[in-house]
Amino acid sequence: MVRDLVVKTVDLAAGERSLRERIDRLEKENLTLRGLLQTTLNFGSGLDAKEGHVVLRPPTGWWSEVRIDKGSKDGLRPGMGVTQEGALVGKVSRVESNSSWIELLTSSSLYIPVVVEETRDLGVLNGEGNGSVWLLYVPVEKTLKPGMGVGTALVSEELPPGIPIGRISGVGEEIGGYRLYRVTLTADLSRLYKVKVVTGGHP
């Protein structure tokens, strides 16, 4: 009886773990789909994207920028959003004829207006230059929890709203009446090979 009970307990734990992983995966997919739907609702058929490939990633600026094989000849211009499988990875910073530089979300000099999906609280996303990303300017009286989704906000003049970015994964310190929140990105910036540049859909 004890052996059967142990076997059933192990099976139950394995099933629960598998179910939890499936739920996490579905929530991630749902966040991406909601972002794409929101972007379509706001900008309609004007939304367009150009696919590009990463051709250079300087070791000294690994978490700051990459270069792709699309440029002004392909309709790219500074400020356009760049995505990986529907999730934001950064913005176009410099454009040449046949190539462009993309500043990544993990860059310490890039600031992106964002919104927390569950609460509609606004904030600003900023990287540390080492792979970490933080949500800034959230008043301390606001209560945000790990797992809440973060996407681009309507207040941005350059990015369509609703593009998925990531999820809150930790609570940081309080600075000047604001609470910092760590954000885990949906896109995998350590495996950045193929991207899409949002070239249409601007108001």
The answer to whether position 85 is within a domain reads: yes
Which residue, among 128, 61, 140, has the nearest Cα to 93 in the 3D structure? 61
The answer to whether position 37 is within a domain reads: no
- Cβ(203)–Cβ(39) under 8 Å? no
The answer to whether position 31 is within a domain reads: no
- Structural domains counted in the chain: 1
The answer to whether position 88 is within a domain reads: yes
pLDDT digits 0-9 by tens, 45-62: 446 889 999 999 999 999
The answer to whether position 73 is within a domain reads: yes
Who's near 151: CB < 8 A, 6+ residues apart?
31, 35, 38, 88, 114, 115, 117, 161, 162, 163, 164, 165
Amino acid (1-letter code) at residue 54: V
Spatial separation of the C-alpha atoms in residues 36 and 11, rounded to whole Å: 38
pLDDT digits 0-9 by tens, 123-160: 999 999 999 999 999 999 998 999 999 999 987 677 88
The answer to whether position 2 is within a domain reads: no
Q: Whole domain around residue 79: which residue ranges?
A: 46-100+191-198
Spatial separation of the C-alpha atoms in residues 71 and 77, rounded to whole Å: 8
- CATH classification of the domain holding 82: 2.40.10.340
The answer to whether position 152 is within a domain reads: no
The answer to whether position 63 is within a domain reads: yes
pTM, entire model: 0.76
Who's near 76: CB < 8 A, 6+ residues apart?
50, 70, 92, 95, 100, 197, 199
DSSP 141: T
Spatial separation of the C-alpha atoms in residues 97 and 19, rounded to whole Å: 49
